[in-house]
Structure 1
């Protein structure tokens, strides 16, 4: 089986950009794709230089030479053909919408080499839901990262019954090579390990605030003081960014969709998208 050397990351949102930079920082050549020149230009000129500064400040072994070398390993693309032309592995980090992910993988399958492994960073969708669109179910699986990958460095790896065991093990090893702690999952489960635990917590917190039982700061105070956790649920919302939880809520039942509508009306529509935007449940400016 071919060694993984060339990596393609689809999407330059919060997690996509982190996955790409962490992979480049670990010594891999990374092609980064997004939908148009404006979006990819912002990633190139703002997002990735910002990540370099963050690594310099927060990663123990980081120095100027390492963070600059990582930036030089990145290339930027707005078409799938050039982004995936040499890819040994593609990691998709697009918004949490099944139809969008299906469309992305169908297009990638037309242009990526036959050897290329496809991974989704989906946080809730089962890989078997997406697999038929990839055209290579034996070389497709999920590789789910947590936000702030340089600090919370888990990579939950979940295949389908059709995923090749050799491909699965290769992706586990790739996770180690990019500084992650691989978490192999023995069978499919929506939400994996992390979100099976985290999503109910965040939903319960949103229900308390949306129902006007307690304000977000009070909910966070109770959680941190009573459990010793470093962050409360609304602080976690801000770290994740509010768009991803919103998309998950709107894919849920009627009660979840009500919480999504509350989140959108009171925060997202007001530009309060989380820590990355400077404002979420808290202000970071």
Structure 2
């Protein structure tokens, strides 16, 4: 049985907000920290959406939802957010300098027993272990978006992580309904993002370079992977354009990958600058709550009368 009952989530964005909500739903007392009331208001709005999803899709009762809300606290005061907590989950943007700053800020505010877990998408815990001030009590615990359905929790140590830290973190993951996936070696991207980031980058390359439309990319993917609920462009919307941009921009710069940098620039110009953040804002590659890929006819064989229009799109420009 885990002793990690009082949890703080640093960052109430797309995945941080999901982690906080789900932990509270599973009985944990949760504090959500973010840098502004505006950010917290967005998180509260997302939690309202999750309440409806949990009622409709996973069998939650109205009392379950009321109890979940009762276990949640929102604050912009980082000192009070982390004081006396059993576990702090870092879910701030995928920017190394920002993560280091946050760890340094909280290092002197934590109780001696407090564990820290990073939800970083592609960065290694060893990069930040010293900044935490407690390397032995620090590891990675990475969740997938749509946490209530895609319930994996990837666990990765750094060379200084203590064995009992990994045991407590694994117990915690199981208690909140996750399937723990241990990394045998350090790996940027764990299992999930090691294959997902290249997939998304390849799909975005097709859009950036004008090869195919987002709908046709997703249509192709969904046909050859029958039964999946969305394709890679729809996944961009679920992850959120800000996180996708941060990952592509960082690794494009680090690896001097000009195509990846061009893909990041495309997201910045066509989505971030226009306030289109994906599912979070209701607009991304698709419009929500009724994205085109959810239409029953999205994968259907088209009418023969549409052949000339489709053929015209195949003319090289």
- What's the TM-score once normalised by structure 1's chain length? 0.96
Cα deviation digits, residues 11-32 of structure 1 (max 9, x gap): 1111111101100111111111
Q: Tell me the equivalent position of 2:209.
A: 211
Q: Tell me the equivalent position of 1:78.
A: 76
Deviation at 1:33, TM superposition (A): 0.7
Q: Tell me the equivalent position of 2:34.
A: 34
1:276 aligns to 2:306 (yes or no): no
Deviation at 1:2, TM superposition (A): 8.1
Aligned length: 283
User: In 1, Cα distance between the equivalents of 2:93 and 2:102?
Assistant: 11
User: In 2, Cα distance between the equivalents of 1:37 and 1:230?
Assistant: 34
Q: Tell me the equivalent position of 1:54.
A: 53
Paired residues of 1:126 and 1:190 also in contact (CA < 8 A):
yes
| Higher Cα Rg, which structure | 2
Structure 1 residue corresponding to 2:222, chosen from 207, 224, 234: 224
User: In 1, Cα distance between the equivalents of 2:155 and 2:84?
Assistant: 23
User: In 2, Cα distance between the equivalents of 1:74 and 1:227?
Assistant: 38
Cα deviation digits, residues 10-56 of structure 1 (max 9, x gap): 11111111101100111111111111233224434x23233212211
Q: Tell me the equivalent position of 2:162.
A: 164
User: In 2, Cα distance between the equivalents of 1:177 and 1:266?
Assistant: 40
**Aligned partner of residue 71 in structure 1, secondary structure:** helix
Paired residues of 2:10 and 2:88 also in contact (CA < 8 A):
yes
Question: Which is worse superposed, 107-116 or 48-57?
Answer: 48-57
User: In 1, Cα distance between the equivalents of 2:5 and 2:106?
Assistant: 18
Structure 2 residue corresponding to 1:264, chosen from 261, 268, 271: 268
Superposed, which structure 2 residues align to 1:1-285 within 5 Å?
3-44=3-44, 46-60=45-59, 62-228=60-226, 229-252=228-251, 253-284=257-288
User: In 1, Cα distance between the equivalents of 2:210 and 2:223?
Assistant: 21
Paired residues of 1:105 and 1:134 also in contact (CA < 8 A):
yes
User: In 2, Cα distance between the equivalents of 1:274 and 1:37?
Assistant: 21
- What's the TM-score once normalised by structure 2's chain length? 0.86
Cα deviation digits, residues 166-191 of structure 1 (max 9, x gap): 11111011000011111111121001
Paired residues of 2:2 and 2:171 also in contact (CA < 8 A):
no
User: In 2, Cα distance between the equivalents of 1:140 and 1:176?
Assistant: 18
Gaps of 5+ in 2: 252-256, 290-317
**Aligned partner of residue 144 in structure 1, secondary structure:** strand
Cα deviation digits, residues 243-284 of structure 1 (max 9, x gap): 111101111233211110012112222222211211111111
Deviation at 1:216, TM superposition (A): 0.7
User: In 2, Cα distance between the equivalents of 1:284 and 1:41?
Assistant: 20
Paired residues of 1:52 and 1:68 also in contact (CA < 8 A):
no
